[in-house]
Structure 1
């Protein structure tokens, strides 16, 4: 079943993001909750995709498509304009996962859309219950996220919350053990997780987790990386943490 999650306006004028690249576009076509408004494509690219018959398509040259996307974005011959997905409430997400032990990802002001998209891709690979971010200080749905997520934007529930600390309290009430990742922690992630349902909390690029967020975690833990490297990119850290959670 397709996921529903929070949204905010993206780069298109009427709050409609533009997605590009065959994986992101094909996933949008397959999501029954995603409304596709316009399609621009080369004839070759359109022939390789199952394009909805009720959506208008404009055939264009590669150079024309390049003007519809940022910089040197690899559009692979197709660009679509879509409506953002509908909001999803945290309580609804937690209710969906009450009978399983799938982990939850919580991102504390991770603002780079490439990182958010990469984390979504890992979240889909490890069958995460969903991703929770603040309403502010988090990127909106965009072509950059969709491209980095390689289709996962359409299948991983994404919940935006006004108050992250309050959301972490709600997550705890739902039975999750909240583990915040920080390089300053004394114990490793494996030592901190235990066997219960886990919510993995990761901080922003550079600044790390805010103190108030850390205070709403049950445990703080670190990844056992070599002292030769100070830290990992947040998307790499998320992938490793999800593997650790899945390997328990």
Structure 2
């Protein structure tokens, strides 16, 4: 069993249906609309509810930041890389690959960005990387429950599989030769982000078709990995949205009838 805590993570897990719940513990001292919304969702979904003291919830969550709700759930089942490739898509794919991120806060922030920017799937390494823990899920504000995630042993091999499906592998590196906003993200693309401080491993970097950089106007040479990922993924989303706009505009519109017609 695993622990989820916090209003957003528990609520999104209930809404997504991606988890099997054993039970949800709610602070008996707290009573407000946000917590009641979670309680109502549990009752609608047939999930058992237990009312406990805040101290007991803190003991379960190992933090006082549980916001009055802690869920006991089955371990999440991750996808295989083939599952991400098999998923139907009406447009070119946008994927994210994480090369050994170690900070669960960064992992959670990137999963939240991935969900918000329309990423089709995330590839994570199983070893020497932050697990999808309660801390990471809390940092994602529950978005992690909606993102399709595959875990792989060998990221280089996974990237080669993506290449075989005509997906361009694009790494983010401060020494990259091309600015991120000069790249065409409307083609099938997987964006690769490296470790905090050290960046991508050498073999992963060599697997990239392109290395992009974010031009920096200030005194520091780079951004935090979660901030850098947000910059690039939302640029990709902007380009893809802009490309889709003419196609939507070209669709015939139904004539609206007004009063008296």
Maintained 8 Å contact 1:129/1:157: yes
User: Is 2:42 the partner of 1:52?
Assistant: yes
> How many matched pairs?
232
Taking the aligned partners of 1:36 and 1:155, their CA distance within structure 2 comes to 16
After the TM superposition, which of the residue ranges 87-96 and 75-84 deviates more from structure 2? 87-96
The correspondence for 1:34, drawn from 2, 11, 19, is 19
- Which of structures 1 and 2 has the larger relative contact order (alpha carbons within 8 angstroms, sep 6+)? 1
After the TM superposition, which of the residue ranges 52-61 and 25-34 deviates more from structure 2? 52-61
Taking the aligned partners of 2:103 and 2:112, their CA distance within structure 1 comes to 14
Taking the aligned partners of 2:110 and 2:238, their CA distance within structure 1 comes to 18
C-alpha distance 194-144 of structure 1, shift in aligned 2 (>3 A): closer
The gaps in structure 2 that reach 5 residues or longer are: 240-261
C-alpha distance 98-171 of structure 1, shift in aligned 2 (>3 A): farther
User: Is 2:198 the partner of 1:207?
Assistant: yes
Deviation for aligned residue 1:78:
0.5
Taking the aligned partners of 2:27 and 2:62, their CA distance within structure 1 comes to 18
SS at match of 2:62: coil
Deviation for aligned residue 1:229:
1.2
SS at match of 2:151: strand
After the TM superposition, which of the residue ranges 96-105 and 170-179 deviates more from structure 2? 96-105
SS at match of 1:68: helix
Deviation for aligned residue 1:68:
1.5
Larger fraction in helix: 2
Higher Rg:
2
SS at match of 2:60: coil
Maintained 8 Å contact 1:165/1:212: yes
Maintained 8 Å contact 2:185/2:236: no
Deviation for aligned residue 1:97:
4.8
| Segments ≥4 residues shifted beyond 4 Å | none
User: Is 2:208 the partner of 1:223?
Assistant: no
**Please, what is the CA RMSD of the aligned residues?**
1.7
C-alpha distance 163-124 of structure 1, shift in aligned 2 (>3 A): same
SS at match of 1:209: coil
Superposition TM-score, scaled by structure 2 size:
0.83
Report what 2:238 is aligned to. 247
Taking the aligned partners of 2:233 and 2:225, their CA distance within structure 1 comes to 12
SS at match of 1:185: coil
Report what 2:119 is aligned to. 128
Superposition TM-score, scaled by structure 1 size:
0.87
Deviation for aligned residue 1:88:
0.9
SS at match of 1:204: coil
SS at match of 2:178: coil
After the TM superposition, which of the residue ranges 211-220 and 26-35 deviates more from structure 2? 26-35
After the TM superposition, which of the residue ranges 25-34 and 120-129 deviates more from structure 2? 25-34
The correspondence for 1:110, drawn from 94, 97, 101, is 101
Deviation for aligned residue 1:155:
0.6
The gaps in structure 1 that reach 5 residues or longer are: 1-15
Deviation for aligned residue 1:227:
4.6
Matches within 5 A, 1:143-158: 143-158=134-149
C-alpha distance 175-98 of structure 1, shift in aligned 2 (>3 A): farther
